[in-house]
A and B are shown apart, each in its own frame.
Chain A
Amino acid sequence: MMRARMDRPRRRGGGALLALAALLLAGALAGCVKPMVKVDDFAQVGANDVLMVGRVELVPPLKPGEQDIKLSGPYNDENQYFFFINNKAVAVADNPDKTPYDDILMEKFGNTFYVKNARRPVHFTVSFLYLTLTRQKMERVWLPGGLVVGVQPGDRAVYMGTIRYHRNEFFDLSKVEVVDEFDRERKAFAEKFGTATPLVRRLARPSGG
């Protein structure tokens, strides 16, 4: 028997409430937990930090018209994902919204991210993207994580791979893989930060959490 559970039956005309909810979410992202700091200069990486390098991709990429993002704000860009990051393995809640997280990684699909984190294993728990974010409607899709990057003592810059989600128009996933594009990323890393600090390959793997 097919059974589907849906959230938020809501009364129509609740646009103001929805906008408020979206603002509160944005506020939560901005206030309670700061998004992971993007690094442009290696001097930003503290003595106890590690620079994380990686990428998240959708295959096929989002097409024009697949998203309807009309609320303005720093967190409401198109083609953007939000990855829940944890210091330890965390199970995703039935309602993924309620999954605890220590940090949020925000980046655009297909872009290489350079973010700093405390030097310890980094868990990529679960992620989402907005399909619709308007005054009338908020629709998200969730993408699995359950990956850990085994950062080691002494690591200063770590390459974790490309998390590649193969999906259809309903966002059913046919495959999730971690792709090793180390050679390309090492070259880009050296162009951005120089060659004084080596980029170490530590591909994300299932965390078993």
Chain B
Amino acid sequence: MRKHLSAVLCAGLALALLGCSGAVVPRPQEPQESIVFGHIDMSDAPVNLQWVSIRQYAPPSEAPYWSAGVADGNYWQWYLKPGSYGVDSFGGSGFNSNYSFNMPRQSKALRLVIQKPGIYFLGSYKYKPVKTGFFEPGKYDLEESDKPTEAEVLHDLLKLVKGTPVEPKLQARLKEVQ
């Protein structure tokens, strides 16, 4: 019974996460909003990438957490205004567990400062487990990766945003980086 309840809760969480972002592009961007996207290869992780939470560090906000859209290891946020941001955590649901991987604030990876509206690629990273002792807490590395490239991620995103207001912006960016 407990496992059934857990499965229901997992499904509910997944739906809630999907619900947070709703449609892939829920509304047109405002002029000062930026597109931020990236990729995390979780093939060596216990779960697939199912959610990414981006935190706004500056300017201060009472609602600093931004839920990113996620598909096939790619993640994106269309509506970030100028400020300082970093991926706060990411994770997914396994067979009977949900995993959350926290990013330390002082990590240099997966963060950016947006000074003017634009399109920003946070890079491609690969999850690598780190062997630890039996009683030690788990560790993992995020290694910067050449693949997929920004162009490859953009190509994937463009399949998701056909006919939406962000499509021409992503197409323009793809032309720049190809």
**Which A residues form the contact surface with B (CB < 8 A)?**
1-13, 63-66, 131, 137, 139, 141-142, 168-172
Q: Tell me if B's interface is mostly helix, strand, loop or mixed.
A: strand
Cα-based distance from A13 to B106 in the complex (angstroms): 24
Please tell me if the beta carbons of B139 and A2 are within 8 angstroms of each other in the complex. no
- Report how far A93 CA is from B112 CA in the complex, Å: 28
B58 within 8 Å of A by Cβ? yes
- B142 and A139 form a contact (CB under 8 A): no
Q: Contact check, A169 vs B97: say whether CB atoms are below 8 A apart.
A: no
- Main SS class of interface, A: loop
In this complex, the member of A1, A3, A131 whose beta carbon has the largest number of chain B beta carbons within 10 angstroms is A3
Choose among B101, B106, B130, B142 the residue that contacts A170 (Cβ–Cβ < 8 A). Answer: B106
List residues of chain B with CB within 8 A of the CB of A6: 101-104, 107, 139-142
Known: A10-B99, A170-B86, A171-B105. A3 touches B142 (CB 8 A): yes
Residues of A within 8 Å of B138, CB to CB, are 7-10
Supposing A7-B137, A12-B91 touch, asked if A141 and B106 sit within 8 A by C-beta, the answer is yes
Cβ contact of B99, chosen from A3, A5, A12, cutoff 8 A:
A12
- Please indicate the chain A residues that have their CB under 8 angstroms from the CB of B110 in the complex: 4
Contact with A along B23-67 (1 / 0, CB 8 A): 000000000000000000000000000000000011011101000
Q: Find chain A residues with CB under 8 A from B58 CB.
A: 169
Within 8 Å of chain A (Cβ to Cβ): is B164? no
